[in-house]
Amino acid sequence: MKKITFLLCAVCLINLGAYSQILKPVTWSYAAKKTGPNTATVFIKATIDQGWHLYSQFVKDGGPVKTTFTFPTAAAYTLIGKTIEPKAITKFEPTFKMEVSYFEKSVVFQQKVKLKGKTATIKGNVEFMVCDDKQCLPPEQVDFSIPVK
């Protein structure tokens, strides 16, 4: 009887482990392109799994957590303006009881920088939140380091 109980518990634990998974519906990738002798544009791309959406940088208070880029002060470069994004999808979301702007499939954010030398490494992080039609995941932060050559 003890063997059967142990075997049954082991099968249940293995089965539970097979169904539990960490959801990571967004993959980030990065690139940089020099646009002049002392300027460059950094490209930060989010690839979003089917059925999920990533919120814009311009979500009003009271809604989901907006995508936010943070760039610490650096000796090798300065930021030119704010991080830009393409036109987002804007719809009323009953969950938040407001219109929200978001992206599906993929989005490329751009940040212009002025270089103080020939090369630099642009460091920072992005905080973001994603939802599908059933759930929202907790906000997440991802650090990045993008070489400009």
Q: Examine residue 58 and state whether it is found in any structural domain, yes or no.
A: yes
Q: Examine residue 31 and state whether it is found in any structural domain, yes or no.
A: yes
* C-alpha–C-alpha distance, residues 139 and 100, integer Å: 16
Structural domain boundaries, residue 36: 23-148
Q: Examine residue 4 and state whether it is found in any structural domain, yes or no.
A: no
14 SS3 class? helix
List the beta bridge partners of residue 87: none
Structural domains of the chain, count: 1
Q: What is the pLDDT of residues 93-142, one digit of tens each?
A: 988 999 999 999 999 999 999 999 989 999 999 999 999 999 999 999 99
Domain harbouring 39, CATH code: 2.60.40.1250
- Whether the CB-CB separation of 28 and 132 falls below 8 Å is answered with no
Q: What is the pLDDT of residues 24-41, one digit of tens each?
A: 999 999 999 999 999 999
Q: Examine residue 36 and state whether it is found in any structural domain, yes or no.
A: yes
Specify the pTM. 0.84
Q: Examine residue 7 and state whether it is found in any structural domain, yes or no.
A: no
Q: Examine residue 115 and state whether it is found in any structural domain, yes or no.
A: yes
Q: Examine residue 81 and state whether it is found in any structural domain, yes or no.
A: yes
Q: Examine residue 15 and state whether it is found in any structural domain, yes or no.
A: no
Q: Is the C-alpha dihedral spanning 137, 30, 66, 91 positive or negative?
A: negative
Q: What is the pLDDT of residue 20?
A: 53
